[in-house]
Amino acid sequence: MKTQKKSKSRKRGGGQKQTKTLPVMAASVESLLEEISNIEDPIEELQSLKTALLSITESALRDSVSGQRLRGVFSLLDSNRREQVELCVDILELILLALSPEHLAQNYRVELHAGLNHPNETVKILALTQIGRMVEDPNAATEILKNHDILQDVIQCIREEKMAVAKQAIQSLSKLSHSKPGLDKLFQSDLLKVMKDVMAASDIVRYRIYELVVEISSVSPISLGYCANSSLISQLLSELTGDDLIFFTRATAIEMVTTLARSQHGRQYLAQQGIMEKISNMIRGAETDPFSSLYLPGLVKFFGNLAIMDSPQQVCEAYPAFQNKVFEMALDPDPVMNGVALDTLGLLGSTVEGKQVLQKTGEKLKTVLLRISQLANSSATELRVRSLDAIAKLLTLEPEQQTEDLLALTESWFYLLSKQPMDMIRNISTQPFPELHCGALQIFTAIATQPWGQKLMISTPGFIEFVLDRSTGQTKEAKDTKFELVGSLVSSSTAAEILGSQNYINLKTYLREGPYYVSAVALVSTEGAD
C-alpha cells in the first residue's frame, strides 16, 4: 500500500503544470544520488532525495538512475541508524519499482541477496518484495533460478521472528512455483532439504512451511503432485490424524487441510488418502476426548466447507457424524460451539439442497431453530449477530428458487422461531446496537421477495411505515441495509399486488431517492433545533 501511494504521487508530479520542473527535479535526483554516498551524515540529503523522487514520473526516474549511483544508496543500508536505513528503504522502493524485473535480476542480484541477510526487517521485506516481482517475470525468473543462494536465503526468511518477513518469503516462493522450472527448483533440488531443515526450527515455522506447501498445492494438480511427492503433504496429514499429538498442532493442521480442500484436485487427493473418513471418525471420537473443544470447531468447519463446495446431501449422508455434531453444538452451553454451529447451519441453509437436507431431520431442526431464536434474543452481542445471520441465510430464496414446496418450507421455519416472529425480529431491530439492527433487517430482506413474507408485512400494523421511516438506523450500514430491504420489496413481481399500489409507489419513491436522502422538512427542523 505504501509503495502504491508513492507511485501515485509520482504520476501526479507528471501533470501538465509541472512539466517544466521535471528536468530540474530529475537533475536534482541525479546529483543527490551522486553525492549521497560520500556524505558522513546523509539524513538531510536522503530526505531531499525522497522528496525529489516523489515529484518526478517513473520514466524520468528510470532515465536519471544509473547502477553506480544506486549502489551508493544500497551502501548506506549498512548502518546502525534506523532513520537512515528506513529512508534508504523508502528511496529504494520508489526507484526499484520504476525498474523492470529483468533489469533488477541482471544488475542488482548481489544487493538484493545482501538485503535478505540484513538485520532490519524492512530491508528484508524490500528485498523479498523485489524478488517476488522478479519470479513473476519469465525472463527475470530465469536469472533468479540460476542463483541458488538467493532462493536458499528466501527459504531461510520463513524462520524469521517477524511474521511480515516470513509472509513475504512465503508469497515470493509461492509465485516462483507457478512455473514448471520453479517447481523443479523447489522440489527437485537440495532446496527441498533446506525447506525440511527450516521446518525443524519450531512448531510455528513448521506450519509456515505447510502454509507454503498448501498454497502451492492449490494452484493445479501438477503442483499438488510435486508437493505430494516431497512427502510434506503426507506429513501434514499425519499431524492431523495421528494419535500422539499436541492438540494445538491438530487445530492448526485442520485449517491447512481445509484450505487444501478448496480446490477440486485438493478434495480428490484428500478423498484418495481417506482423510474425510478419518475426520468423520475424529468427530465421533471427540465425545471421549477432554481436549476436543480445541480442534472440534475446525473439523466441523472442514465438512461445512466441503458440503458447500461439493454437495450438502452427499456430505451429510456420507458423514452423518458431521450433521449430528452440528446440531449438538447448537444446543451446547459453550458459546464457542454455538458460534461454529450457527455459521455452519447458515452455510448449509444458504443452498436449496442444504435446506432440503436440514428439513429431513424433522424434530431435530425444530429444536435447533428454537435455540437459534433464543440465542438471537439473549446472548452476547457477537453470538446474537451470528444467529441473525444464520436465520437470514436459512430463510433466503432467490426468485427462481421459489417453488411452492420451498416457499412452504421457509414459511414453516419462520414460524418455528417464535409465536410472534415478526414482533420478535422487529424488537431486535429497535435495540441500540447497529449490528443487531442490520442483522434483523437482513432477515426482513430475506423474506421480502417471498409472497408469504409480503403478506406478513402488510398484515403487521405499522410495518410498512417502519420500513419507510428514515429516522430509524442512522449509521451508513443501517441506511444501506434498509435500502437493500426496500430494493428487495420493489423488485418482487408480487409486491405491488400484495402490498397495495400506494405502499408500492412509496417504496419506489424511497428507492429513487436513495439510501441517504434527507427531506427538506427534516432539514428545516434540524436547523431550527440548532
Query: 37-67 pLDDT, tens per residue?
Result: 677 788 988 998 888 888 887 777 776 665 5
Across 7-21, 56-70, 139-153, 471-485, least confident range: 7-21
| Three-class DSSP category at 231 | coil
Across 238-252, 292-306, 317-331, least confident range: 238-252
Q: Does residue 223 have a pLDDT over 70?
A: yes
Which of 453, 451, 457, 355 is closest to 406 using CA atoms? Answer: 355
- pLDDT, tens digit, 9 for 90 and up, residues 451-466: 999 999 999 999 999 9
> Do the beta carbons of residue 343 and residue 307 sit within 8 Å?
no
User: Who's near 397: CB < 8 A, 6+ residues apart?
Assistant: 352, 406, 407, 410, 449, 450
The Cα–Cα gap between 524 and 395 comes to 41
Segment 490-510 mean pLDDT: 95
Q: Does residue 20 have a pLDDT over 80?
A: no
Per-domain boundaries in the chain: 202-273
> Do the beta carbons of residue 479 and residue 517 sit within 8 Å?
no
Report residue 521's pLDDT band, with 50, 70 and 90 as the boundaries: low
pTM equals 0.81
Report residue 291's pLDDT band, with 50, 70 and 90 as the boundaries: confident
Segment 8-24 mean pLDDT: 39
Q: So what's the pLDDT on residue 57?
A: 78
- For 277, 390, 446, 472, 482, the CA distances from 437, given in Å and listed in that order, are 41, 15, 15, 9, 10
What percentage of residues in the chain have a pLDDT greater than 70? 90
Report residue 4's pLDDT band, with 50, 70 and 90 as the boundaries: very low
Q: So what's the pLDDT on residue 457?
A: 96
Residue at grid coordinates 441453509:
349
Q: So what's the pLDDT on residue 11?
A: 37
Segment 264-270 mean pLDDT: 96
Across 4-13, 277-286, 304-313, 343-352, least confident range: 4-13
Q: So what's the pLDDT on residue 67?
A: 55
Q: So what's the pLDDT on residue 335?
A: 95
Segment 103-116 mean pLDDT: 92
The CB density around residue 380, as the number of other CB atoms within 10 Å, is 12
> Do the beta carbons of residue 321 and residue 283 sit within 8 Å?
yes
Segment 78-83 mean pLDDT: 91
Q: So what's the pLDDT on residue 222?
A: 97
What percentage of residues in the chain have a pLDDT greater than 90? 74
Segment 480-499 mean pLDDT: 95
Mean pLDDT of the chain: 89
Q: Does residue 361 have a pLDDT over 90?
A: yes
Residue at grid coordinates 424433522:
362
Across 31-35, 278-282, 437-441, least confident range: 31-35
Which of 199, 104, 210, 96 is closest to 147 using CA atoms? Answer: 104
Torsion angle, alpha carbons of 358, 362, 368, 372, to 10: 70
Q: Does residue 412 have a pLDDT over 70?
A: yes
Q: Does residue 105 have a pLDDT over 80?
A: yes
Report residue 319's pLDDT band, with 50, 70 and 90 as the boundaries: very high
Segment 510-517 mean pLDDT: 92
End-to-end alpha carbon distance in the chain: 41
Q: So what's the pLDDT on residue 248?
A: 67
